[in-house]
Amino acid sequence: MELEQMRQLDAIERLGTMSAAAEELHISQPALSRSIQRLEAELGCALFERAGRRVALNDCGRAAVEGARAILRDERVLHANVAAIAERARALHVSTVAPAPLWRLTALAMERFPRETLTYETVEEREALRQVVAGASDFAITCADPRRPGLASCELMRENLAVTLPPNHPLAARREVSFADLAGETFLIMTNIGFWRGVVDRAIPGATFIEQADRMVFSQLAHATPHCTFVTDAPFQRDAMPGRVVVPITDASAHAVFYLTMRGDAGGLTAQLYRWVREHA
């Protein structure tokens, strides 16, 4: 007995007529009748008692349907299990313009999907959106809401930039500063800060940047350096600079809103994580 014949038996028994079953199965009634006749020939017995248009299972038919439905249930379970494993094995790829919103997305993903994996690369905003549109990335994290046809986006997080200073720095007593106040200063800075590096490069004329690629080394140096450093109000950076004075930067470009974007036709885990972020970010 083939799986298709099992589905046909189930439909005939549920619906009571060959015509109704054929309509549900999207085949012609004569084709359905021939398939059932082949099955009866294979099993060597009739399966139905026919009275006009309606058909009713006989004892052999009831046994056949019971066995067919058990196999169909097993098939559904098999497909569901395989699909779940395949979905778990698939890592979601994120193109992001900055590290902090990626860490925020990772934290939200761990709350709802602790067994899933996110991979990422830091790129410019236009490239992040291009990769999502092309299907090369599941998500883009940008600092502007794209609002494009075919894309879905929601706010992921907000981040505000501040400068950290040694207590004896002339600006350390200020409640706030502007980028112009920081002109000509020397900064110890992490190499891979994405979007924020472009902001400070453009906004602070004459600044000198001493780059450090290793985050652990940077954290150790930042506590004692006589130079300025940057910090944001992202949760994982709060209170990260003991012995330093943190002064907010007032310029509009020092305040960022990050958006999570996916293709509007995305499904599966991508759509589930997007809905979770939209509800909980």
The SS3 call for residue 266 is: coil
Q: At a CB cut-off of 8 Å and minimum separation 6, what does 177 contact? A: 163, 171, 247, 248, 249, 250
Q: Please state the rounded mean pLDDT for residues 250-270.
A: 95
Burial class from Cβ neighbours inside 10 Å (0-12, 13-18, 19+) for residue 93 reads middle
188-206, pLDDT tens digit by residue? 998 878 889 999 999 998 8
Q: Do domains 92-154+258-280 and 158-255 have the same CATH topology?
A: yes
Cα within 13 Å of Cα(66), Cβ side: 7
Alpha helix ranges (H) inside the chain = 3-15, 18-25, 29-43, 59-89, 99-112, 125-134, 195-203, 215-224, 268-280
Q: Please state the rounded mean pLDDT for residues 243-261.
A: 95
pLDDT at 224: 84
pLDDT bin (cut points 50, 70, 90) of residue 83 is: low
Whole-number Å distance between alpha carbons of 59 and 181: 91
Burial class from Cβ neighbours inside 10 Å (0-12, 13-18, 19+) for residue 153 reads buried
Greatest alpha-carbon span in the chain: 100
DSSP letters spanning 130-164? HHHHHTS-SEEEESS----TTEEEEEEEEEEEEEE
- According to CATH, the superfamily of the domain at 158-255 is Periplasmic binding protein-like II (3.40.190.10)
**CATH code of the region 3-88:** 1.10.10.10
28-61, pLDDT tens digit by residue? 888 888 888 888 888 888 888 877 667 788 888 8
Place of tokens 């472009």: 198
This prediction's pTM: 0.63
Whole-number Å distance between alpha carbons of 133 and 263: 6
DSSP conformational letter for 169: S
Among residues 48, 51, 54, 7, the alpha carbon closest in space to that of 26 is found at 7
Q: Please state the rounded mean pLDDT for residues 246-257.
A: 96
List C-alpha distances in Å: 45 to 22, 30, 37, 60.
Answer: 22, 20, 10, 7
Quick check: 96 pLDDT over 90? yes
Q: Kindly report the number of other CB atoms within 10 A of residue 206's CB atom.
A: 8
Q: Where do the domains of the chain lie?
A: 3-88, 92-154+258-280, 158-255
**CATH code of the region 92-154+258-280:** 3.40.190.10
Whole-number Å distance between alpha carbons of 81 and 50: 39
3-34, pLDDT tens digit by residue? 788 888 888 888 888 888 888 888 888 888 88
